[in-house]
Structure 1
């Protein structure tokens, strides 16, 4: 059936093109550019025809286009929150394009000082600069204003501000997992769904959020643009870019548990055509968890070169060095039966006192953009990244903690290196076929990832260590813990290369003032090479048991958009993504990818020139062909091999999301969001090892919510005073592992977790160029847990205090 769906999609694309030509009429077009008084592009400025519903928003390069304009004379107006509007008279003739240029009174520096961000801003992760109301997909943006006001340091804290997105797991205190719409993404490894500036990124070791310009989220399927990614969300971290005016700031952040964190951000011109930016931070902190500490250095230099008005070359680099104590959480009792969260202090640490996780990461990228004219441009990106991680400590307490708390600790030593290289090219164009407007994107991308991991032998006094010592997670004084560090030696090195490539095309088709159609399709190719294993003891090389694997998939997307007014947009869409499967079928053939279908409908509203936004969406995501253990072998006999599978299962994820965001003046902003999700198994087999029909999947809260408000006083007696409050809710969910048919032991592997809410209060004061902001987080000292599988049970942070002193220049 899937080839049939793909064929139908291609036919629909062709039909739409024919229809576009058939209904073409003679109308005119208005295009132009908006610049600041110092000649820089003015992005996200509202441009529209006065007394009509015709309007758009300037792109990042300041360009704008209004199509399908009936012949006549109009008043063209530009508006931006906090700035004086401008008007120009234009005359439109049939079949012709009128070019108009605006120059704002404010320069780039003044424009950047406007706090209000309430514009119909395009999400850069969408690759095509499609305005929010035109994009048939739910998105979320955590702006620099929110990051600074909430004093956010970690990506997980930023994503809590996006409706329907929740932080559901932590792994050994060095990695996080986020969930949305029933699907999860992990920050460990470059094969995931987290990007930086549109480029896939290995973000192990907690991404640094305090230095970002924004965090963007595309919800649901984004396979059309990115290939094999999560069906729940894609995250794009946007770094700060160079500017052609001098400025910057220095900050000192300090807080509970010995946190101190200087941050700097400096930018300016080096010549008429060359600008720079240098952002960095150093962080040193202990933790509410005993023994745990972190030491991090991060820098992000960048250069922007403009050889001409139509071309820009952006060079960016990243360097992160982090030493973090790996933390297995508080452990669990009876892990091989009904797992029980132990009643121990939130600070209880059960790893070895000398455990370490050391990460060093460097990356570089070049982004070239050339504008052929106001309608067509090309963008090319190449990047490379290397991530090296070395860790040593106690292995995870998985299925081996006794009911009385006794745990015989084994040791785990790891050393990994991951190199990824990426390249992508995107061509964006705006054109008309008669009265039909098109916003076209054609692109291609390539990702090459090579992972290297070492296996170790661990010895003490020349004797292999199988059990390091015994501790009791309920009573640390029961046994004397060892503190010596055994020797470790790498014995094998496994290299695992893989390649991902794709080509895609999409078109936003404006049929009338009110109706638009979005259509696109991607072809993806993925090659996972057979691993090579080098024995470091004799330099002999062998091959892994898994053969080289090839996967291919089409990912179509089709949507209808209805806009009764310029401020309201209804959309309905179909799209799909795919997941790569392991194992073989009953005939020994490699399993093809599972295709996941998504149906979504929603409404987006923007009022008061974009200062107030209200959105609502519902969705249904069905994986009607997920892999599960086969009932029988090819000869009809019962199958007991978990690697032999069949594509006969099904999961269904239903849900809704709502958010209300406002920047009603430069003094205050608010964010409110809610998400509901119900993901469960809706078709399974009765074979041993298959999922349980109807069981809700783990790490997926039914309800999530977020609310934030900040207000800055400008009354003479209170000028500069800022007050803020935030609340975040994560609903009831299951940790642990889902149950399977005939599992041994027969006890439930689910760990029920109650819902919880945390509340933060902030207060600050600004005087001229100096500001101070203080926050008390989790003011009620709420206790709950994030659980990875059945071993890493991590208590959420307790009440904490954070303050930031900043000087802007």
Structure 2
């Protein structure tokens, strides 16, 4: 069904050669007045067409005068069509209504996947067709998350080509590496707002995970050059429904999940998602308990304004686990995968609360205003032994670490997006500003760090202690940080084939002097010698897109970003920022009538001065063990290529695959004491990674609803430990001795395979997965002391009921 055709007078007429042309514009909604994104709208008998944005809008330019049939198609639905008359210099308005509710459309989309080059990512802040973007991006949707029974963010991200999993101290959280860069808290977002990465996020209840590869500095400011990850939680719906499920698996995993949604009034809808998880581990003595709840409300304030309020709360208790550690600076191969060397009382307790509001207001047909505000409170209470670094005989003197930290984020952003014309040239504009306030609170303790000695090769050699020492708080340190930025971006359509993306951001950051408080009197007892640091920078971006065919796009881009560095140098001064230049070229293809997407990207990233943990303290002799004390280590260069495949060639068959190569190394250092060796690959970065996942659901046979899936994931060779450094020593006779300090730990590559089998009948579904079916043994290594074996072969199953 379609309705409404009007024509608006324009002050100019576009000229296609010598022929005056007009424009067709409109929107697509369901019969419950919800906008429908990603609808194909084509002019019958021509190659002209468009795809609706997420808010249901479309526009087709450069149409010759005449009467045409406009066709709107959506997967699984009968095409809608209507005649429209185009007049030179005018815009003909036509609106479609699809005869299904938004709930029915969501169910239809599950059966067929839209091309990944036809799905804009919200992390891009503006709904631009990915074929028009000179940048690589990826989406992992709720279907893959459910089929693979993902519970952690790493379970989802392993499907994203070019992003490799790492680990952190004690395995208390996950970290990722993209294009050679560690994706820390600055690069992780939830619903478009920056999110803490010091806890493993709950992934089983996500709608999708978006990854914007390369530089996103223009949009978000202080991010690294690798990628940004945006977790999108599920939103309310204006029809009643939901799902309850129970997940169970190896090592006493139990996880009930509930999801309920529906209308409260005609204009107000809700959604409530919750899950509880308890599990033991293949690592003896390691246990975890998680509770997560995610409420949200959607209010439609008239026809032009929507207000989305979301919140979530995560409580996670996890046993800190440093794995099997290192022996003589090497990974021991004769220690059991399950061996555990921490104390029985060690704990890592985390609570994280997030609240956000997202307001969308349609100013008119072409312009939209968006506001996102959020607050996140993070608390971590940690007490454990630390750093398994045994000598060649296996002896390890266990030391203790106690920490209690809190982080309080306030973030806000305002974005104006829309389209405009200057003559025959079209513009898709983004103008915005963002601001953040961040307070980090940490504590020091009266604690004797030396605990006892054990032998990790021969546990009977020593009798380990089991008591928990007292650790009263001594002081509290508060460090505030303030950030602000403004930006403008314009996608300039010179023609249907040539487009230019240009943008500029101005960023400001203030890192104030930390204050140290006595916890008894709550008075400032000491100020550090650091000075308040102010940083300002412009970050430009320019890209060119050439589309010789409607489904093929070649692109090239350059971006520059200013990356503030956290922590202090050995003299307690706040670190200066790094400047990163990124070059990227690639091609995006949609083949076989959009059933197969094949994208290839090549890149070069140059960081003028990389901040790393300092090797030595200010005296140049004492080895530094504090991760917050850093140094500027020199220029790095990262070259690489990424290949992505994604599609659904036949009905019921969905697959995605990818391969990436990365070479990040030091390219310019001082060559003096403590500086790193040029040309050596940076630690924690594999040269090669690859992934492939295929799921097939039988459509027509007596076994209709039976689902079979196979996944494979490859992580190539990489180095752990620390990069090789120059060492300069002055001899007693005044001569200088130069040497290299080799502290690399080679780690071999590995491949794991998962198989899944499921069945759905009406509202009931059951799926099971056997992961790491070959029982591959390898390790995730943080520096040289947290050496954690990957999970062995294990089984997990989920039974679900939709209503």
TM-score (norm 1): 0.91
Which residue number in structure 1 is paired with residue 6 of structure 2?
none
d(CA) in 2 for partners of 1:478, 1:582: 42
Q: Work out which of the residue numbers 213, 217, 221 in structure 2 matches 1:219.
A: 213
Summarize the Cα distance change of 1:589–1:601 in structure 2 as closer, same or farther, 3 Å threshold: same
Deviations 1:143-176 (A, max 9, x none): 1010000010110111110111110224312111
Which residue number in structure 2 is paired with residue 437 of structure 1?
426
Summarize the Cα distance change of 1:776–1:445 in structure 2 as closer, same or farther, 3 Å threshold: same
Deviations 1:407-440 (A, max 9, x none): 1112111111110000100000112222111110
d(CA) in 1 for partners of 2:197, 2:631: 33
d(CA) in 1 for partners of 2:756, 2:455: 40
Summarize the Cα distance change of 1:576–1:245 in structure 2 as closer, same or farther, 3 Å threshold: same
d(CA) in 2 for partners of 1:106, 1:153: 32
Instruction: Give the Å deviation of 1:785.
Output: 0.6
d(CA) in 2 for partners of 1:438, 1:38: 31
d(CA) in 1 for partners of 2:581, 2:285: 46
Deviations 1:268-319 (A, max 9, x none): 1111000000111100000111110110000000000001111000000010
SS in 1 for 2:472: strand
Which residue number in structure 2 is paired with residue 118 of structure 1?
114
Which residue number in structure 2 is paired with residue 8 of structure 1?
none
Instruction: Give the Å deviation of 1:481.
Output: 1.6
d(CA) in 1 for partners of 2:710, 2:130: 27
d(CA) in 2 for partners of 1:487, 1:383: 37
Q: Work out which of the residue numbers 377, 380, 391 in structure 1 matches 2:382.
A: 391
d(CA) in 1 for partners of 2:630, 2:393: 39
Q: Work out which of the residue numbers 163, 166, 170 in structure 1 matches 2:164.
A: 166
Which residue number in structure 2 is paired with residue 575 of structure 1?
559
d(CA) in 2 for partners of 1:647, 1:472: 37
Instruction: Give the Å deviation of 1:587.
Output: 14
Which residue number in structure 2 is paired with residue 131 of structure 1?
129
Q: Work out which of the residue numbers 616, 641, 652 in structure 1 matches 2:600.
A: 616
Deviations 1:16-71 (A, max 9, x none): xxxx9999996422211101122211111112223333222212221112233333
Which residue number in structure 1 is paired with residue 512 of structure 2?
529
Q: Work out which of the residue numbers 763, 780, 789 in structure 1 matches 2:774.
A: 780
8 Å Cα contact 2:503-2:541 kept in structure 1:
yes
**Residue 802 of structure 2 corresponds to residue 808 of structure 1:** yes
Which residue number in structure 1 is paired with residue 11 of structure 2?
none
Q: Work out which of the residue numbers 447, 463, 467 in structure 2 matches 1:484.
A: 467
Any residues of structure 2 matched to 1:210-289 within 5 Å, and which? 210-289=204-283
Summarize the Cα distance change of 1:549–1:113 in structure 2 as closer, same or farther, 3 Å threshold: same
Which residue number in structure 2 is paired with residue 347 of structure 1?
338
8 Å Cα contact 1:25-1:434 kept in structure 2:
no
d(CA) in 1 for partners of 2:630, 2:207: 45
Which residue number in structure 2 is paired with residue 447 of structure 1?
436
8 Å Cα contact 2:651-2:699 kept in structure 1:
no
d(CA) in 1 for partners of 2:785, 2:567: 26
Which residue number in structure 2 is paired with residue 763 of structure 1?
757
Which residue number in structure 2 is paired with residue 687 of structure 1?
672
Summarize the Cα distance change of 1:626–1:263 in structure 2 as closer, same or farther, 3 Å threshold: closer
Which residue number in structure 2 is paired with residue 5 of structure 1?
none
Which residue number in structure 2 is paired with residue 729 of structure 1?
714
8 Å Cα contact 1:342-1:474 kept in structure 2:
no
Which residue number in structure 1 is paired with residue 584 of structure 2?
600
d(CA) in 1 for partners of 2:234, 2:133: 24
Q: Work out which of the residue numbers 383, 402, 412 in structure 1 matches 2:391.
A: 402
Deviations 1:349-388 (A, max 9, x none): 1111110111111111111110012210000011111011
d(CA) in 1 for partners of 2:571, 2:470: 46
**Residue 497 of structure 2 corresponds to residue 508 of structure 1:** no
Higher RCO (CA < 8 A, seq sep 6+): 1
Which residue number in structure 2 is paired with residue 181 of structure 1?
179
**Residue 298 of structure 2 corresponds to residue 327 of structure 1:** no
Any residues of structure 2 matched to 1:15-94 within 5 Å, and which? 27-94=21-88
Q: Work out which of the residue numbers 308, 311, 316 in structure 2 matches 1:317.
A: 311
**Residue 400 of structure 2 corresponds to residue 411 of structure 1:** yes
Instruction: Give the Å deviation of 1:676.
Output: 0.6
d(CA) in 2 for partners of 1:603, 1:411: 52
Which residue number in structure 2 is paired with residue 634 of structure 1?
none
Which residue number in structure 1 is paired with residue 7 of structure 2?
none
Instruction: Give the Å deviation of 1:265.
Output: 0.9
Summarize the Cα distance change of 1:590–1:383 in structure 2 as closer, same or farther, 3 Å threshold: closer
Which residue number in structure 1 is paired with residue 363 of structure 2?
372
Q: Work out which of the residue numbers 477, 488, 495 in structure 2 matches 1:494.
A: 477
d(CA) in 2 for partners of 1:362, 1:628: 30
SS in 1 for 2:601: strand
Deviations 1:744-798 (A, max 9, x none): 9955211101110000000011111111000000000001111111111111100
Instruction: Give the Å deviation of 1:103.
Output: 1.1
d(CA) in 2 for partners of 1:255, 1:587: 50
Moved more, 487-496 or 602-611: 602-611
Moved more, 84-93 or 727-736: 84-93
Q: Work out which of the residue numbers 681, 699, 702 in structure 1 matches 2:684.
A: 699
- The count of residues paired between Structure 1 and Structure 2 equals 768
d(CA) in 1 for partners of 2:41, 2:402: 59
d(CA) in 2 for partners of 1:90, 1:203: 51
d(CA) in 2 for partners of 1:776, 1:644: 43
Summarize the Cα distance change of 1:644–1:84 in structure 2 as closer, same or farther, 3 Å threshold: closer
SS in 2 for 1:664: coil
Unmatched tracts of structure 2, length 5 or more: 1-13, 730-738
d(CA) in 2 for partners of 1:262, 1:150: 16
d(CA) in 2 for partners of 1:26, 1:136: 30
Moved more, 642-651 or 697-706: 642-651
Moved more, 444-453 or 736-745: 736-745
Deviations 1:712-765 (A, max 9, x none): 112332111110000000011111111211179955211101110000000011
8 Å Cα contact 2:409-2:438 kept in structure 1:
yes
d(CA) in 2 for partners of 1:286, 1:202: 25
d(CA) in 2 for partners of 1:368, 1:586: 44
Deviations 1:209-267 (A, max 9, x none): 10000000011111010111120010000000001111110000000000000011111
Summarize the Cα distance change of 1:581–1:123 in structure 2 as closer, same or farther, 3 Å threshold: closer
Which residue number in structure 1 is paired with residue 662 of structure 2?
677
Summarize the Cα distance change of 1:626–1:287 in structure 2 as closer, same or farther, 3 Å threshold: closer
Summarize the Cα distance change of 1:150–1:648 in structure 2 as closer, same or farther, 3 Å threshold: closer
Summarize the Cα distance change of 1:472–1:743 in structure 2 as closer, same or farther, 3 Å threshold: farther
Q: Work out which of the residue numbers 768, 785, 794 in structure 2 matches 1:791.
A: 785
Summarize the Cα distance change of 1:174–1:743 in structure 2 as closer, same or farther, 3 Å threshold: farther
8 Å Cα contact 2:19-2:64 kept in structure 1:
no
Which residue number in structure 2 is paired with residue 148 of structure 1?
146
Deviations 1:117-166 (A, max 9, x none): 21411011000111111111100111101000001011011111011111
d(CA) in 2 for partners of 1:482, 1:668: 56
8 Å Cα contact 2:16-2:62 kept in structure 1:
no
**Residue 729 of structure 2 corresponds to residue 738 of structure 1:** no
8 Å Cα contact 2:36-2:55 kept in structure 1:
yes
Moved more, 766-775 or 92-101: 92-101
